[in-house]
Amino acid sequence: MSADPVLVLQLQRMGDLILTFPLLTRLKQRWPGHPVWVVAEPQFFRDLMPLAPEAVFFPPQHCPALARGRYAAAVNLSGRPEASACLARLEAGRKIGAAALPGGLHVFGYWQLYRTALTQNNHNNAFHWSDLSLLDLDPTARLTDVGHSLPKGAGTGRIGLILGASEAAKRPDAAFWARLAARLAKAGATPVFLGGPAEAGLGREVARLSGLGGANLCGRLSLREVAGVLQTLDLCVTPDTGPMHLADWLGVPVLNLSMGPVHARETGPSSPGQWVLRARMSCVGCWQCRRARLYCKQAFTPSAVADVALALVNKSPALPSAASGLREPAGLALYRTGRDCLGLHTLERAGAQNRQAVSCRPLLEDFWQAAFLFLYDPSLRALAQQRLSNLQNAFPALAHRLGSGFARLCAQCAAHLKRRSPALPATFWRAEPPLLRLFAGHLHMFLQNADYAPTGWQTAVDRLTALCGLFASQK
């Protein structure tokens, strides 16, 4: 009898599917001998199959039939109703993700619940989405055995410009790309314009404005052919979009122009050794801009991006140490992706200038990452204590407010437990101050997921007590 398959439901866009590839690799390690089945959109998986880890792909229309099967494990990474209905109905030794149960939607898995709670509440999140897909597979939060491609240029002098993105707010306009391409060409590089059928008109406009008609390949290549071109590049300059994740997966050096409503710690390039350029602003990483203009996008200029791109290409033979001599353009911050001792994605400031103004946000993001890791894996208490100490040393008043907030939330949850409260108001998490909102949103969704049962309230109290204990141990 053949082994039960492992099922992954990923019905989102191309980039989301590519970010699932490390999970497919890990599933083969975790359940050796079990075939991996993936439900995804055919427009994406047809050309990606030769580049993906070994798996059998199905279109979404097969969800009703797949729901009648039995699996060693099933993981739903999609928010679409057919995926949650499929996970609810199928039989599996292990379920992870959202399932449409008779009593309502239920999320299986600590980390998938954490990810679900990030909707409109991701400020101070430090976990990459590809990592969040992996963490529920094991009781310890360590990803050191998951391999990642290391970027290496092809030595051709070609620099790819991926012109499109899912939203106009996430990408430069045609005039920007044209000026960037002209500057790269003047410096001796060979620009190549890449994009799908949706970018055909944009590619023609950039070619016209730049006078580089021969550089335009937008709308002319299949996804598989785009992958072939990517592997001929020294660098890929790209917004946060599906082809960026493809380049990253293939080991192509990437300079991610992280602009608009995107968060590089969540969906930027995930392999170590890649580059991210984003505005030097406290609000970067939002899901939806609430300001009058996209100031984070206006911070980018073609000349600044060209200078960074050319510096990276010129230093490509020594790419791991290239950051030491780079200067950050005015208004922009340059980052390098990496992996920490747990194997988790990191984003470290890489510019040559001294950091004259220290922001609390990176320290707060790092603390929250360690706090959620500690609650999942108590052996990581020392990491949470160290991150808290870093925050206290740099911003003692903020750390004090954080500790006071934990104590207040703990008392509130204890009172709700005593009264057997049926629910929290819908405004609960939004009413918390921004430094606590990430945890308040997770707490709110956790209690909803537990149907506000006494065991759910008790777990909430226990977790807040553990977090308060971090502050007590620092005295």
Is the pLDDT at 286 greater than 80? The verdict is no
Is the distance from CB of 11 to CB of 40 less than 8 angstroms?
A: yes
Q: Can you tell me the mean pLDDT for 345-367?
A: 79
Is residue 330 very low, low, confident or very high in pLDDT (cuts 50, 70, 90)? confident
Q: Can you tell me the mean pLDDT for 191-211?
A: 97
Distance CA 346, CA 333 (A): 15
pLDDT digits (tens, 9 = 90+) for 18-44: 999 999 999 999 999 999 999 999 999
Distance CA 324, CA 216 (A): 34
Paired tokens of 450: 């537990």
pLDDT value for 117: 96
Q: What is the CA radius of gyration of the chain?
A: 23
Class of residue 416 by CB neighbours under 10 A (exposed 0-12, middle 13-18, buried 19+): buried
Q: Can you tell me the mean pLDDT for 220-234?
A: 96
Output the average pLDDT for the chain: 92
pLDDT value for 281: 81
CA dihedral 296, 301, 302, 306 (to 10 degrees): -90
Closest CA to 56 of 39, 32, 73: 39
Question: To which residue do tokens 């990592």 refer?
Answer: 131
Distance CA 256, CA 165 (A): 12
pLDDT digits (tens, 9 = 90+) for 302-324: 999 999 999 999 864 433 444 45
Paired tokens of 421: 């409260």
Count of CB atoms within 10 A of residue 102's CB? 6
Is the pLDDT at 147 greater than 50? The verdict is yes
Distance CA 111, CA 301 (A): 38
Paired tokens of 250: 């293939």
Identify which has the larger pLDDT, 353 or 29.
29
Q: Can you tell me the mean pLDDT for 360-376?
A: 96
CA dihedral 61, 63, 66, 72 (to 10 degrees): 140
pLDDT value for 1: 47
Is the pLDDT at 357 greater than 60? The verdict is no
Distance CA 348, CA 351 (A): 9
pLDDT value for 314: 87
Amino acid at 290: R
Class of residue 376 by CB neighbours under 10 A (exposed 0-12, middle 13-18, buried 19+): middle
Is residue 373 very low, low, confident or very high in pLDDT (cuts 50, 70, 90)? very high
pLDDT value for 293: 75
Per the document, the length of the chain is 475
Helix (H) or strand (E) holding 88: helix 81-89
Strands 254-258 and 275-279, sheet pairing: parallel
pLDDT digits (tens, 9 = 90+) for 206-222: 999 999 999 999 999 99
pLDDT value for 353: 54
Helix (H) or strand (E) holding 73: strand 73-76
Residue 360, φ and ψ in degrees, nearest 5: -75, -20
pLDDT value for 405: 96
Closest CA to 341 of 272, 282, 294: 272
Distance CA 393, CA 34 (A): 49
Class of residue 39 by CB neighbours under 10 A (exposed 0-12, middle 13-18, buried 19+): buried
Paired tokens of 338: 């990496």
Query: Which range is least confidently modeled, 9-18, 41-50, 135-144, 311-320?
Result: 311-320
Paired tokens of 369: 């990452």
Closest CA to 9 of 74, 88, 95, 61: 74
Distance CA 96, CA 224 (A): 31
Count of CB atoms within 10 A of residue 242's CB? 24
Q: Options 3.30.70.1050, 3.40.50.300, 3.90.1150.10, 3.40.50.2000; which CATH number does 6-135 get? A: 3.40.50.2000
Distance CA 110, CA 96 (A): 9
Distance CA 170, CA 244 (A): 13
CATH number for the domain whose boundaries are 158-355: 3.40.50.2000
Taking each continuous run of H as one helix and of E as one strand, the counts in the chain are 19, 15
Is the distance from CB of 130 to CB of 270 less than 8 angstroms?
A: yes
pLDDT value for 474: 65
pLDDT digits (tens, 9 = 90+) for 72-99: 999 999 999 999 999 999 999 999 999 9
Which segments of the chain belong to CATH 3.40.50.2000?
6-135, 158-355
Class of residue 89 by CB neighbours under 10 A (exposed 0-12, middle 13-18, buried 19+): middle
